[in-house]
């Protein structure tokens, strides 16, 4: 009688110990965290212990071992082995209890028979909503019009519902809030929002008053004596910006992605992993998940999915799965999951679930590995709905806003009757240092902000203020309007959100269509149509060339010349990408603020 058994290599007294809690182990001279999972933050010692840990060793031998010879022994005879019912029960209760009896016995009886018909599976719609803030202002309401004309979903954040519906229509998707009051920016307002165009601005008006339709203001600040109306520049341009960024950050996504599991610097993001092997269907494969303090890249820490897989008892898979998250993970801002791992040339599965049920559809991606450390990106669009190794053709589309658990698997089986060509029985190891959600390349802006030319000039050394626009000359009198606009810009640049900052010169009510000048460094003066600025903002959302850029823009038409358009012969629509391509990274105009004037 052949026997298949596991041997645990005993470490020396100076080696690390392995603490195994239902499939989760920690390798180290001391234990971290609680009974399951790792701590949320680990501070690694400067002197790391040597990398020594316990390994499963898969052996075949003609030696006849009884079931009581050794705790890990599994008998094999004629392709059958003793089934560890205790481990089966522990597995079920680790994952919040067993399924219903009906489903449970059905899953044990049902065999993996013929393949399902191969048909296309519905893919997910990831277009998302664009939120427009300041939507009743001169630029904001035009942004709304441009988005609607392009048949793009739009939602507006406004303070005055009556005014907004009168201006934008009764059917506008509208939420009521004030960026200066963080408690009015409710999380449900931003559900489904994937990008933001922020046209909020402090209100500047004539001291002597204005007409109901703000006719004097529309002429431009150079034509009246200005003053701040309503909230201060600090509240609107700076505090308001901080509030808005905090409110939308989770919805629009970060350039670096969102860490779900693993290491960033000295901190660790844990997940409650547990072993889920073929013991649930009578098999005897075993796996575990460990934290290896020195097994990662450059000798750093990593997670380690390892075990021994065997086809005895009609088994053939080993996996680790997280417990259901306390709250669903919303990754709708992102395009997929990225695993940083050390491959072994084998094929694995990642299974993502969007239901809290035990026995339910898993949205599955199969991925191949090569030897060595690598990043594996799995787009959400590549996930297929699989249930008991069969494609579910009528499954609902994958919803990345409702992720409840993750699972990694090494299996003999793929789906629909296919087998894993890289499968072989025996031990395996897959170090996984992190799992994160990612934005696909090329990354495009998720936050477009309408700022102002001149924001760096009030404090610029050696500048002749008499030759500057009124807002620059009157910065102090206007509550340091440009100073706080610049501070608001900095909040965007430091937020991690992919952005575009548009700095228009003096805004006019003229039509769009004039030739444009894009510049960087905050040096130009001139005028530009509000309609043109709105079009630029919407175009920026789709352009990787506009991502993480700050620029000024004006038309080539001088102030002294009005610009008109013949309705019968309008100018051709611009390809704004040609302008965006000229922009460079890292130029904001703040460089001149850091320069020390040369004494004369």
The per-residue pLDDT for 100 is 57
Residue 121 included in any domain: no
The per-residue pLDDT for 90 is 72
The per-residue pLDDT for 88 is 64
Helix (H) or strand (E) holding 491: helix 481-493
The per-residue pLDDT for 541 is 98
Same domain, 276 and 206: no
Same domain, 294 and 410: yes
Residue 124 included in any domain: no
The per-residue pLDDT for 600 is 33
The per-residue pLDDT for 264 is 77
Same domain, 428 and 285: yes
Same domain, 31 and 74: yes
Same domain, 137 and 217: yes
CA 292 to chain CA centroid, Å, is 27
Backbone conformation region of residue 128, classed left if phi is above 0, alpha if psi is from -120 to 50, else beta: left
Tokens matching residue 15: 């080696």
CATH number at residue 183: 3.40.50.720
Residue 492 included in any domain: yes
CATH number at residue 73: 2.60.120.430
Name, in order, each residue with C-beta under 8 angstroms of 488's C-beta and a sequence gap of 6 or more.
Answer: 237, 238, 240, 241, 449, 451
By DSSP bridging, strand 499-504 and strand 549-555 are: parallel
Same domain, 403 and 305: yes
Same domain, 466 and 334: no
The per-residue pLDDT for 432 is 97
Residue 51 included in any domain: yes
Tell me the CA end-to-end span of the chain in Å, nearest whole number: 98
Same domain, 304 and 432: yes
Q: Dihedral of the CA atoms 55, 61, 63, 64 (nearest 10)?
A: 90
Residue 21 included in any domain: yes
Same domain, 272 and 251: no
**∠ at Cα 45 (40, 51), nearest 5°?**
95
Residue 102 included in any domain: yes
Instruction: Answer with the one of 438, 462, 483 that is the final residue of a domain.
Output: 438
The tens digit of pLDDT for each residue in 336-389 reads 999 999 999 999 999 999 999 988 999 999 999 999 999 999 999 999 999 999
Instruction: Answer with the one of 389, 417, 438 that is the final residue of a domain.
Output: 438
Same domain, 449 and 432: no
Nearest Cα residue to 80 out of 166, 1, 9: 1
Number of separate domains in the chain? 2
Residue 600 included in any domain: no
Q: State the Cα–Cα distance between residues 469 and 454, nearest whole angstrom.
A: 8
The residue segments making up the domain with residue 347 are: 3-113+259-438
Got the DSSP string for 508-559?
Answer: ESSPS-S-EEEE-SS----EEEHHHHHHHHHHHTT-GGGTTEEEEEEESS-T
The per-residue pLDDT for 85 is 65
Q: Where are the beta strands (DSSP E) in 100-242?
A: 129-133, 154-158, 174-176, 193-198, 203-206, 226-229
Q: State the Cα–Cα distance between residues 449 and 198, nearest whole angstrom.
A: 5
Q: Which residues of the chain have pLDDT under 50?
A: 1-79, 111-126, 596-600
Sheet containing 174-176, strands listed edge to edge, beginning at the edge strand earlier in sequence? 174-176, 154-158, 129-133, 193-198, 447-450, 499-504, 549-555, 516-519
Q: Dihedral of the CA atoms 26, 28, 31, 37 (nearest 10)?
A: -20
Nearest Cα residue to 284 out of 320, 319, 307, 312: 312
Instruction: Answer with the one of 398, 419, 438 that is the final residue of a domain.
Output: 438
Same domain, 303 and 158: no
Residue 155 included in any domain: yes
The tens digit of pLDDT for each residue in 285-329 reads 999 999 999 999 989 999 999 999 999 999 999 999 999 999 999
H helices of 316-448, in order, are none
The tens digit of pLDDT for each residue in 263-279 reads 877 778 999 999 999 99
Same domain, 428 and 461: no
């Amino acid at each position: 009688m052949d026997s298949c058994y596991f041997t645990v290599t005993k470490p020396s007294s100076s080696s690390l110990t392995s603490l195994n809690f239902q499939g989760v182990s920690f390798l180290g001279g001391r234990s971290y965290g609680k009974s399951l999972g790792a701590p949320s933050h680990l501070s690694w010692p400067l002197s790391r212990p040597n990398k020594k840990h316990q390994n499963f060793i898969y052996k075949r031998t003609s030696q006849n071992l009884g079931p009581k010879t050794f705790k890990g022994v599994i008998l094999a005879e004629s392709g059958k082995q003793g089934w560890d019912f205790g481990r089966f029960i522990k597995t079920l209760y680790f994952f919040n209890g067993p399924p219903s009896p009906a489903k449970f016995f059905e899953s044990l009886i049902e065999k993996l028979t013929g393949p399902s018909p191969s048909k296309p599976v519905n893919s997910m719609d990831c277009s998302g909503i664009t939120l427009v803030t300041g939507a009743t202002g001169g630029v904001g309401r035009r942004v709304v019009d441009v988005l609607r004309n392009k048949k793009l979903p739009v939602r507006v954040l406004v303070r005055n519902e009556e005014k907004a519906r009168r201006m934008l229509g009764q059917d506008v998707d509208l939420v009521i809030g004030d960026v200066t009051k963080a408690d009015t920016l409710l999380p449900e307002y931003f559900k489904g929002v994937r990008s933001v165009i922020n046209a909020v601005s402090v209100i500047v008006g004539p001291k002597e008053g204005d007409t109901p339709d703000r006719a004097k203001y529309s002429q431009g600040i150079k034509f009246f004596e200005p003053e701040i109306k309503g909230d201060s520049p600090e509240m609107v341009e700076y505090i308001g910006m901080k509030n808005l960024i905090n409110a939308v950050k989770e919805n629009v996504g970060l350039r670096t992605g969102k860490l779900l599991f693993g290491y960033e610097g000295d901190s660790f993001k844990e997940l409650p992993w547990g072993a889920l092997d073929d013991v649930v269907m009578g098999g005897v494969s075993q796996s575990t998940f460990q934290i290896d303090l020195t097994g990662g890249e450059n000798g750093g820490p990593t997670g380690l999915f390892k075990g021994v897989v065997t086809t005895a008892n009609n088994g053939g898979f080993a996996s680790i799965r997280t417990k259901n998250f306390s709250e669903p993970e919303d990754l709708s801002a992102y395009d997929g999951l990225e695993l940083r791992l050390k491959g072994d040339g084998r094929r694995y599965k990642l299974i993502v679930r969007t239901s809290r049920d035990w026995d339910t559809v898993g949205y599955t991606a199969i991925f191949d590995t090569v030897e060595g450390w690598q990043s594996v990106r799995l787009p959400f669009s590549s996930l297929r709905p699989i249930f008991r190794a069969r494609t579910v053709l009528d499954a609902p589309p994958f919803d990345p806003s409702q992720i409840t658990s993750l699972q990694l698997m090494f299996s003999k089986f793929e789906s629909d009757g296919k087998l894993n060509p890289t499968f072989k029985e025996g031990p395996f190891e897959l170090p996984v240092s992190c799992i994160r959600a990612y934005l696909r390349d090329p990354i495009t802006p998720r936050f477009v902000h309408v700022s102002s030319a001149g924001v760096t000039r009030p404090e610029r050394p050696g500048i002749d203020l008499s030759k500057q626009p009124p807002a620059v000359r009157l910065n102090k009198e206007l509550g340091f309007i440009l100073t706080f606009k610049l501070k608001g810009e900095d909040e965007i640049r430091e937020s991690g959100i992919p952005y575009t900052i548009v700095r228009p010169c003096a805004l006019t009510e003229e039509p769009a269509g004039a030739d444009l000048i894009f510049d960087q460094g905050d040096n130009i003066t001139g005028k530009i149509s509000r309609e043109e600025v709105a079009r630029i903002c919407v175009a920026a959302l789709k352009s990787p060339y506009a991502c993480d850029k700050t620029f000024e823009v004006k038309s080539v038409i001088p102030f002294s010349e009005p610009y008109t358009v013949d309705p019968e012969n309008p100018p051709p629509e611009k390809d704004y990408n040609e302008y965006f391509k000229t922009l460079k990274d890292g130029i904001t105009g703040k460089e001149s603020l850091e320069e020390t004037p040369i004494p004369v």
